[in-house]
Amino acid sequence: MSDVIKLKKGLDIRLQGKAETVFAQIPLPELFAIKPSDFKGLTPKMVAKVGDKVQAGSVLFFDKQHPEVKFVSPVGGELVAVNRGDRRVITEIVVKADSKAAPIDFGKSDPAAMSRQQVVDKLLESGAWTYFKQRPYNIVANPTAEPKAIFVSTFDSAPLAPDYDFIVSTNEEFFQKGLDVLSKIAPVYVGTHNNGCSKAFSGAKCEKVTAFEGPHPAGCVGVQINHTNPINAGEKVFTIQPQEVVTIGKLFATGVHDFTRVVVLCGSEMKKRAYVKTILGAQLTTMVNGNLADGHVRLISGNVLTGTQVQPDGYLGYYDSQLTAIPEGDEYEFMGWAAPGFNKFSASRTFFSWLTGKKHEYKLNANTHGELRAFVVSNEMEKVFPMDIYPEHLIKAIMAEDIDKMEQLGIYEVVEEDMALCEFVCTSKIAIQKTLRNGLNLMMKEVG
């Protein structure tokens, strides 16, 4: 019997463009890329060179600070480009797929018969270690760290988020297998949705299964950690997503690092909204060509709250299982502040959209709907932030670069996605996630 935690605070943004739970067939693209910018604070050291032949599972680069953390190619083929951005920072490592190239076989193994170190080594060797993110800071996990727990959230409550019940339904035994592997590293805590989720999730065999109920961010793993086993100063936990658990399960069961990912195409500007099977780091062309509405469209790898803006010829983010298209909204609106606003979504009732009912779905664009101001309105962030932390005071401590206060106010317990809703509702349009990242970077530098 699992515990049920009901969360009241939060906000479900009722966005148009939810995908149906059906699979659409799309061809795989030719190009695949790993973007080092998906890993916070990472400096990549290249191993492979342009022109090298690679297999699925061959090392492309490693982490300069932790050379044992290897990042591998998701497909077999040829390394065709290492694109660089400002100050020659590596932005994309592009591999051209060759369907004939066989993946590397890392060998089947039974986690039950392995030591913790052997499990860690196997994950590092195959590149699957990079799926672990470490909190505080939300960085790629340090292999020498001893986390007190590993957390898996089996549902995503973000707007238009993929349904993991549906995605994992064909791979349930691999999910459990993956949890068995994880349990070798640290006790595993699984968070499930309280309303009828897959047996693989609710019946998962691990340290603890906790059911959550409530609006977004109930599915954010950070919120679940805070309510089950909060991070104290000096402690570390790992987090990992359900599809990655399946991948790890397959790796141990079959010996092959299978980079297949199910991605949901959604958003009001996506014409055909469905789930597609693709491969990690896939170029988006086959998913979006002819599939985007006319006009100025913003394409986001991830969800509208935490995702990264990508170009239609860009690549899927390393940790993303969602591709959202919304209108850019870079147009002026005459006297927008005075309009009744029947079609404007707001957590407050300052627009008459509350008349349209609680079921109405909105087509939101990327407009800021106002200019940057100092903090004025209070208690709007608290309403959407279900943790015992004062969000506004934490952000102010970060702005003042007061390290003691940041620590005392609980910066270790939050990462960007947990506070994304705070940024959404902020009347003063303050960049909460960016500020928080600055704070986390400062803590990493000063405290470690």
Residues in 318-357 at the binding interface with other proteins, rule: CB under 8 A: 324, 326, 328-338, 341, 344-351, 353
Piece of 17-25, 137-145, 182-190, 361-369 that binds other proteins (CB under 8 A)? 361-369
Q: How far is the CB of 205 from other proteins (least distance, A)?
A: 26
Burial 166-190, CB ≥16 within 10 A → b, else e: bbbeebbebbbbbbbbbbbbbbbbb
Residue from 251, 300, 310, 395 touching other proteins (CB under 8 A): that is 300
Which of the residues 230 through 259 are near other proteins (CB under 8 A)?
A: 230, 232-233
Residue from 22, 112, 113, 376 touching other proteins (CB under 8 A): that is 376
Q: Which is nearer to other proteins, 67 or 336 (CB)?
A: 336
Q: How far is the CB of 354 from other proteins (least distance, A)?
A: 9
Which of the residues 270 through 299 are near other proteins (CB under 8 A)?
A: 298
Which uninterrupted H or E stretch holds 120? helix 116-126
Q: Which is nearer to other proteins, 144 or 332 (CB)?
A: 332
Q: Does 306 bind other proteins (CB under 8 A)?
A: yes
Amino acid making up residue 291? N
Q: Are 104 and 257 in contact (CB under 8 A)?
A: yes
Q: Which is nearer to other proteins, 222 or 307 (CB)?
A: 307
Which of the residues 14 through 43 are near other proteins (CB under 8 A)?
A: 15
Q: Does 367 bind other proteins (CB under 8 A)?
A: yes
Q: How far is the CB of 86 from other proteins (least distance, A)?
A: 15
Residue from 309, 313, 401, 445 touching other proteins (CB under 8 A): that is 309
Q: How far is the CB of 100 from other proteins (least distance, A)?
A: 39
Q: Does 170 bind other proteins (CB under 8 A)?
A: no
Q: Which is nearer to other proteins, 126 or 365 (CB)?
A: 365
- Which contacts qualify for 336-344: CB closer than 8 Å, 24 or more apart? 336/369, 337/370, 344/369
Roughly what angle, to the nearest 10 degrees, separates helices 242-254 and 116-126? 100
Cα dihedral across residues 359, 361, 362, 366: positive or negative: positive
Whose tokens are 């909190």? That residue is 135
Which of the residues 129 through 158 are near other proteins (CB under 8 A)?
A: none
Q: How far is the CB of 194 from other proteins (least distance, A)?
A: 25
Size of residue set near other proteins by CB under 8 A: 74
Q: Which residues touch 117 (CB under 8 Å, ≥6 apart)?
A: none
Measuring CA to CA, which residue among 221, 194, 213, 225 is closest to residue 8? 213
Which residues lie across from 411 on neighbouring strands? Answer: none
Residue from 305, 323, 414, 440 touching other proteins (CB under 8 A): that is 305
Q: Which is nearer to other proteins, 109 or 367 (CB)?
A: 367
Q: Does 448 bind other proteins (CB under 8 A)?
A: no
CA pair distance 11, 14, nearest whole angstrom: 9
Measuring CA to CA, which residue among 107, 44, 32 is closest to residue 70? 44
Piece of 80-88, 164-172, 312-320, 409-417 that binds other proteins (CB under 8 A)? 409-417
Measuring CA to CA, which residue among 407, 403, 399, 400 is closest to residue 434? 399
Measuring CA to CA, which residue among 2, 407, 56 is closest to residue 209? 2
Residue from 304, 316, 323, 415 touching other proteins (CB under 8 A): that is 304
Piece of 101-109, 187-195, 255-263, 375-383 that binds other proteins (CB under 8 A)? 375-383
Q: Which is nearer to other proteins, 102 or 339 (CB)?
A: 339
Site string for other proteins, 419-438 (x = CB under 8 A): -x--xxxxxxx-xxxx----
Q: Which residues touch 294 (CB under 8 Å, ≥6 apart)?
A: none
Q: Which is nearer to other proteins, 226 or 278 (CB)?
A: 226
- Strand-pair category, 237-240 with 133-135: antiparallel
- Which contacts qualify for 61-69: CB closer than 8 Å, 24 or more apart? 61/34, 61/36, 61/90, 61/93, 63/39, 63/140, 66/142, 66/143, 66/144, 68/124, 68/143, 69/124, 69/129, 69/130, 69/140, 69/143
Q: Which is nearer to other proteins, 5 or 305 (CB)?
A: 305
Residue from 55, 80, 143, 390 touching other proteins (CB under 8 A): that is 390
